[in-house]
Amino acid sequence: MNPSSPSRLPGLDTLRAIAIVAVMLFHLGWLLPKSFGPVSRFGWMGVDLFFVLSGYLIGSQLLKPYLTGDKPSIAGFYRRRIYRILPAYLFVLSLYAMLPVWREEDGISPLWQFLTFTENLFVDYSIHQAFSHVWSLCVEEHFYLALPLLIALLMRRPSARKTVAVLAFVVLFGIVLRAFLITHYPDEVWTGIYYPSYTRLDGLLSGVALAVVRIFRPAWWRPLMQRGHTLLLSGAVCIGCVVWMFRKHDLGNNTGSPMWGVILGFPLLSLGLGLITASSVSENGLLARVRVPGAETIATLAFSLYLTHKAIGHIVMQHFPQITLPQGPGSWLLYVVTCFSAAVLLHVAVERPFLRLRDRVTRHNFTCALENEMCKEPAL
């Protein structure tokens, strides 16, 4: 018996592919024509989509054992996350640490901030820093660390009312905290609000809420799964409202700070992305029914693309200015080929071997646990 995760869902692969492409367009938007400006400008929303997907998938993974009276192994969960994240991350981090030519910016945070996943809490984002996009991975790591412990605590005496209260508290805490920060520190709106984990819990919470409904409230979940198009349209409306809220804000240059967008935009965006995520796994949702060519491949390479695309873009620009500076089709093709080639190399050489090792270790531990349980059974 293989205890690994269930087969891939095309809708989730499509969303993961959209998320990483949006992030890349945002970071490498300077090489795109002006007509792509709106797409690149709001590409930062791809990070929030990653948060929602992580909340849904990780939440489902941790909550599902409780349906059969089991408890997830917290140590096993941490071990799987280590195999999944650390090998590729530490390899790329070593390139940043040892090869200055790899860095897309001259400055870089101290190594200990990257090793402790606290870069998003201490870095000075008013100064351009290399590997700065790792802030979102720091948020994810804090989530991976805290969620299993929180679930274990809540499931000691499970209560729907208590779960709703915790979810509502997290949402309200984020709204109040962002309101306080933007009121008292308006000049540091993005360094103090956009990057720290404690102000960016909305997307993760949205995904976890979906997982809770799916696992523990199937009577609510089934009707949702029959309304894929409604979910998709509702999510698009929410995202459209957020785009309107941030229409005068240039995130890349840290200029402008529409107050209501900062305070309420993130939870509204997370709600919209959560609705779209639900649509992607629904019975009649467009994203669930249509397999987008290449989406699974891009989704598989998403983590490697995330780690390497900014450095690769910088290296290509430095070494091939005659192709990249005109910003024409040749430069776009060159960036696509080099970014995806680097991601494939990282995935094949580092990510995939450790994922296979993780699966072997998981199967071995599962088999040993099963044998131990059989030994405890009384003889007939």
370 vs 21, which has greater pLDDT?
A: 21
Q: According to the model, what pLDDT value does residue 341 have?
A: 97
Give per-residue pLDDT as tens, 128-150.
789 999 999 999 999 999 999 99
137, exposed or middle or buried, with CB in 10 Å at 0-12, 13-18, 19+? buried
Residues near 174 by beta carbon (within 8 Å), at least 6 away in sequence: 198, 199, 200, 201, 202, 266, 267
Token digits for 175? Answer: 């709204």
43 vs 8, which has greater pLDDT?
A: 43
Q: What is the mean pLDDT of residues 20-31?
A: 86
From CA 198, how far away is CA 191, in angstroms rounded? 13
Q: According to the model, what pLDDT value does residue 1 have?
A: 34
154 vs 33, which has greater pLDDT?
A: 154
333, exposed or middle or buried, with CB in 10 Å at 0-12, 13-18, 19+? exposed
Q: According to the model, what pLDDT value does residue 327 have?
A: 66
End-to-end alpha carbon distance in the chain: 24
pLDDT grade for 4, boundaries at 50, 70 and 90: very low
Q: What is the mean pLDDT of residues 98-113?
A: 92
Q: What is the mean pLDDT of residues 258-264?
A: 79
This prediction's pTM: 0.91
pLDDT grade for 194, boundaries at 50, 70 and 90: confident
Q: According to the model, what pLDDT value does residue 183 have?
A: 84
Contact between residue 40 and residue 25 where contact means Cβ atoms under 8 Å apart: yes
Q: pLDDT at residue 64 above 90?
A: yes
Q: pLDDT at residue 117 above 80?
A: yes
From CA 370, how far away is CA 288, in angstroms rounded? 35
